[in-house]
């Protein structure tokens, strides 16, 4: 029995506000609304994003009130930075976003800040961009370490898209910064966009995970018209409710458990169905994998 208990480590089911992005963009939902919807959907906690701030002080206060009303914690605060910028001043702006995220995390009692690396752009080589990313994340790590907050690098784009790329950046950042606060945020859907099976990629970074984005994608049908995620090999993917796509989520969970992960799975729904119906179903499905 003790062996079984040690294997089935406790994981918590959160939900990212980005799951409700289409409702936000239509003006149907704001930050407090999201928190109340997350409670109704059955989440254990919420992931807030600086992306949705309009008036920082006002929105923060409203979020704090909603968290108190629902009793939900905010274990993750996410920022969207990009260090693949040639101008050092622009990279300093990106670093300030991580520092802001760390400061906000402290206000909400969040222990993790989700961060990005950046991506190649016209006139910028892979090696140049990667060096700026490592430098920027190292400075961000030093600041986070001084505040007792962890960072989680998401597999996003092509510079930090594959599991080996994410692990390599984390290793270099830890070496340069002298801290181990930077870990991974393996996004179970995004690995498909760089043509890597999600469970195989997670095996490469699971021991470094500080959080997880629990997401599902499905191949777009040949007749699909409109926007879709395009993978490196040209395949088109659509977001779908957790458990209804082709990501091998059960194997992803196995890899995380085998590595001893016992943190937050933050559901991130990116489909076209109304999130008011798709997110509760995603959360319920996520629990079945646990």
CA distances from 60 to 66, 79, 178 (A): 10, 15, 32
- Confidence class for position 282, pLDDT limits 50, 70, 90: very high
**Average of pLDDT values for 156-164?**
92
For residue 210, which of 170, 251, 241, 161 has the smallest C-alpha distance?
170
**Average of pLDDT values for 129-141?**
97
- pLDDT value for 3: 41
Q: How far is CA 11 from the centre of its chain?
A: 16
Domain that holds residue 104: 2-289
Mean pLDDT of the chain: 94
Question: Model confidence over 57-88: pLDDT tens digits?
Answer: 999 999 999 999 999 999 999 999 999 999 99
pLDDT at 2 over 60: no
- pLDDT value for 9: 52
Percent of the chain with pLDDT over 90: 90
pLDDT at 137 over 50: yes
- pLDDT value for 222: 87
Domain of 104: which CATH number?
A: 3.20.20.150
Neighbours of 235 (CB within 10 A): 15
**Average of pLDDT values for 153-168?**
94
- pLDDT value for 1: 38
Percent of the chain with pLDDT over 70: 97
**Average of pLDDT values for 103-117?**
98
pLDDT at 114 over 50: yes
pLDDT at 189 over 80: yes
- pLDDT value for 214: 98
Predicted TM-score of the model (pTM):
0.94
Residue 36 exposed, middle or buried by CB count within 10 Å (0-12, 13-18, 19+): middle
**Average of pLDDT values for 218-232?**
90
Question: Model confidence over 7-26: pLDDT tens digits?
Answer: 445 799 999 999 999 999 99
- pLDDT value for 183: 98
pLDDT at 6 over 60: no
Provide the domain count of the chain.
Answer: 1
């Amino acid at each position: 029995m003790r062996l079984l208990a040690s294997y089935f480590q406790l994981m918590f089911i959160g939900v990212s506000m980005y799951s409700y992005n289409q409702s936000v963009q239509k003006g149907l939902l704001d930050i407090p609304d999201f928190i109340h919807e997350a409670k109704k959907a059955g989440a254990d906690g919420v992931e807030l994003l600086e992306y949705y701030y309009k008036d920082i002080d006002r929105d923060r206060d409203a979020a704090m009130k909603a968290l108190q009303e629902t009793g939900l914690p905010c274990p993750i605060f996410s920022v969207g930075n990009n260090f693949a910028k040639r101008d050092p001043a622009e990279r300093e702006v990106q670093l300030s976003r991580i520092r802001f995220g760390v400061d906000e995390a402290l206000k909400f009692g969040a222990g993790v800040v989700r961060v990005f690396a950046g991506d190649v752009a016209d006139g910028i080589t892979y090696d140049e961009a990667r060096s700026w990313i490592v430098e920027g994340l190292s400075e961000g790590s030093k600041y986070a370490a001084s505040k007792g907050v962890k960072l989680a690098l998401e597999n996003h784009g092509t510079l930090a898209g594959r599991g080996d790329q994410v692990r390599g950046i984390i290793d270099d950042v830890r070496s340069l910064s002298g801290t181990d606060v930077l870990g991974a945020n393996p996004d179970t859907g995004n690995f498909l966009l760089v043509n890597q099976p999600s469970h195989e990629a997670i095996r490469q970074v699971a021991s470094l995970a500080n959080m997880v984005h629990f997401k599902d994608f499905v191949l777009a049908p040949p007749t699909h018209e409109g926007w879709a995620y395009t993978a490196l090999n040209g395949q088109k993917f659509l977001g779908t409710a957790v458990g209804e796509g082709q990501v091998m989520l059960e194997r992803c969970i196995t890899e995380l458990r085998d590595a001893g992960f016992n943190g937050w799975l933050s559901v991130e729904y990116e489909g076209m169905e109304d999130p008011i119906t798709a997110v509760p179903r995603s959360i319920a499905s996520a629990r079945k994998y646990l």
